[in-house]
Amino acid sequence: MEITSAAFVTSLANYGPFPGIGLPQIAIAGRSNVGKSSLINSLCRVKGLAKTSGTPGKTRLINVFLLNDSLHLIDLPGYGYAKVDKQEKRIWGERMDTYFNTSQTLKAVIQLVDIRHEPSADDLQMVAFLRQKGIPLLLVATKADKISRAARQRHLLPISRTLQVQPFDIVPYSSTTGEGRAALLARLDDFL
Ligand code: GTP
Ligand code: MG
């Protein structure tokens, strides 16, 4: 697919009815600061569409975007942010549960991990949760520009091993260079 139009629809604390609901959805999950909002902006080629920040924990709400007047992209709140207390973690869990139990048109989750690091316990838990729910997932390794081309496989292997996917099933992605954008868009077609 190619993205010809992208617009912000709404922010939701708790997932529920919003204008245009019912279209197919693709959601984006990952740790705080992994690059979810940046990926949305680079994918849609609209600067500032999703708010990004150097400070983790920016996206606490569920942000909904409309692509090509026919698809909703869902920016989910990040997890694994250190400065979050038990109460906030519980709220996060409840919001995610509500989303995954309520959305009837979710086609796939784009799961983001930082290409430089081995997946965290939270990443593993998230992936296990999606698999248990039978939700198709597409793994994207973000911030690929931060490592050399030669080091790609060395970084992808432990990620693929930990998350039990084939290394070639992980899309290396950079929001700054645009690397991986075409590959990701092509993969999205498989889910829609
Ligand atoms: P939360 O909303 O807190 O969950 O974070 P997020 O996952 O939406 O991360 P965000 O897109 O806000 O990016 C976090 C930081 O990483 C920002 O400083 C971005 O500029 C930076 N960043 C994101 N993607 C890339 C990338 O591909 N390359 C580089 N070099 N930096 C990136
Ligand atoms: Mg964000």
CA of 54 to the centre of ligand 2 (A): 10
pLDDT band at 69; cut points 50, 70, 90: very high
Q: Are the beta carbons of 80 and 30 closer than 8 angstroms?
A: no
Q: Are the beta carbons of 63 and 11 closer than 8 angstroms?
A: yes
Residue nearest to atom 13 of ligand 1 (CA): 35
Starting from the CA of residue 140, give the closest ligand.
1
Cα 139 from chain centre = 9
CA of 164 to the centre of ligand 1 (A): 25
Amino acid at site 121: A
Nearest ligand 1 atom, CA 52: 12
Q: Are the beta carbons of 190 and 181 closer than 8 angstroms?
A: no
pLDDT at 59 over 70: no
pLDDT band at 87; cut points 50, 70, 90: confident
| Mean pLDDT of the region 25-42 | 96
Starting from the CA of residue 38, give the closest ligand.
1
Which has more confidence, 146 or 85? 146
Q: What is the pTM (predicted TM-score) of this model?
A: 0.95
DSSP 49-118: SS---SSS----SEEEEEETTTEEEEEPPPB--TT--HHHHHHHHHHHHHHHHH-S-EEEEEEEEETTSP
CA of 52 to the centre of ligand 1 (A): 6
Q: What is the pLDDT, as a whole number, of residue 57?
A: 63
Which has more confidence, 145 or 94? 145
Q: What is the pLDDT, as a whole number, of residue 165?
A: 95
Q: What is the pLDDT, as a whole number, of residue 93?
A: 87
Q: What is the pLDDT, as a whole number, of residue 56?
A: 66
Q: What is the pLDDT, as a whole number, of residue 160?
A: 97
Please state, for a pLDDT cut of 70, what percent of the chain lies above it. Answer: 97
pLDDT at 102 over 70: yes
CA of 33 to the centre of ligand 2 (A): 7
Q: What is the pLDDT, as a whole number, of residue 54?
A: 76
Residue nearest to atom 32 of ligand 1 (CA): 143
Q: What is the pLDDT, as a whole number, of residue 55?
A: 72
